[in-house]
Structure 1
Amino acid sequence: MQTILELHRRSLAAIRPIVAGIRPADLDRPTPCAGWDLKALLAHMIGQDHGFAAAASADVGEDAFRPRAPSTRAHEAGLAAVTAAFAAADPDRPVPLAEFEGRRFPLRAVVGFHLIDTLVHGWDVAVALGDRTDYDDELVTAALQQAELVPDGPLRTVPGAAFAPVLPVAADSTGWNRVLALLGRDPDQAA
């Protein structure tokens, strides 16, 4: 459990400087998330942080994950909330996630879900800003392990799907580009 929590903390640290670079004038920029500008993406990210934080200790509904008013300060508060919640969570309590029809998951898995969401959305923000991500090898490996667990299929084509369908990727492809392709992101969108 300590390993995934440490990797999770590092994922948050990795995206902090990326998100901190957002200026009010940037909020209308398009992102790799179809139909979302940077304002909508940041609001979603903050909502996810607070939703995961709430779910780590209590049964909560989808409203806990609702998008929040976007700002870099609100994002930082969300990161602090989810870090504290995961650290204090009972590792033996299955965590219900409303976004998965209330299915319960081991805390370790939930931390992994948030880790991949964090890193991919960090990349989305970087692309929107014309910047780059430089995640270390351990974070990329952790992200790849999570991305390989995300089911592909028709659920990825419904409106509001968390990820787009898997994009073609070379069988021997590794690293961050493989993570992106597995989650329906085009690695060539990177700056």
Structure 2
Amino acid sequence: MDIRDLDRRAGAVLGEVVMQVRPEQLWYPTPCPDWTVRGLLRHLVSENEGFAAAATHGSAPVQTWTGGRLGDHPAGAYRRSNVKVADAFADGGALDRLMEVREFGSFPRRVALTFHQLDCVVHAWDLARAIDVPYEPPADLVGPALALARRIPDTEASRGPGAAFERGVKVSGEATDFEILLALLGRDPAWVSPLD
């Protein structure tokens, strides 16, 4: 399947969760230790703008990757930034062209888009869990994300505070593929908000 189609679907599924955020929930904690719901939404918009700019120009300044603005309508800011990603990757013939992804290095655009797809699938869970709404990603979105997550190094040098991911956590042998994906990226699938 075309990674662009998978990514568009993952972005849309995440968008459905974003649309459910109420203003009073913006300061709720999330499974991402450094972010409230507002901080996570800002990260999502920033990442979309970074991926879009890097796909278009080959790289993007740090400020683009971190400077997303939510304004008074976070859902609208997310939607607009997500459209930018789809537009930037629409030229399918250029998916092998290299682009720089933040501090992670340069990758073919199709690989970079797989990173983005993984972010959408996992951050939708982060957000859904924070605001206590149901979220069950389609299996065909989980598969590619899980394959990529298994390749991300899990060392003290590459994981932990200030890094993109926390250290992996253990799950039972009966864990679903999605629970394994969450655990590989440092999330406890049983996380519940301290507000509950």
The TM-score normalised by the length of structure 2 is 0.89
* Deviation (angstroms), 1:84: 0.8
Q: Distance in 1 between matches of 2:120 and 2:181?
A: 13
Deviation digits for residues 97-119 of structure 1 (CA, Å, limit 9, x no counterpart):
2322xx21011110000011111
Contact kept? 1:132, 1:190, Cα under 8 Å: no
Counterpart check, 1:93 vs 2:97:
yes
> What is the CA RMSD across the aligned residues, in angstroms?
1.6
**Share of identical aligned residues, percent?**
36
1:31 counterpart residue number: 30
* Deviation (angstroms), 1:172: 6.2
Matches within 5 A, 1:86-165: 86-88=89-91, 90-100=94-104, 103-154=105-156, 155-157=158-160, 159-165=161-167
User: Can you give the 5+ residue segments of structure 2 that lack an aligned partner in the other structure?
Assistant: none
Counterpart check, 1:80 vs 2:83:
yes
The TM-score normalised by the length of structure 1 is 0.91
Counterpart check, 1:52 vs 2:55:
no
Contact kept? 1:62, 1:99, Cα under 8 Å: no
1:62 counterpart residue number: 62
User: Can you give the 5+ residue segments of structure 1 that lack an aligned partner in the other structure?
Assistant: none
Residue 94 of structure 1 aligns to which amino acid in structure 2? L
Residue 122 of structure 2 aligns to which amino acid in structure 1? V
Q: Distance in 2 between matches of 1:18 and 1:98?
A: 25
* Deviation (angstroms), 1:162: 1.0
Runs of 4+ in 1 over 3 A off after TM superposition: 170-174
Q: Distance in 2 between matches of 1:61 and 1:15?
A: 25
Deviation digits for residues 125-152 of structure 1 (CA, Å, limit 9, x no counterpart):
1011111211111111122112112111
2:187 counterpart residue number: 185
Aligned residues: 187
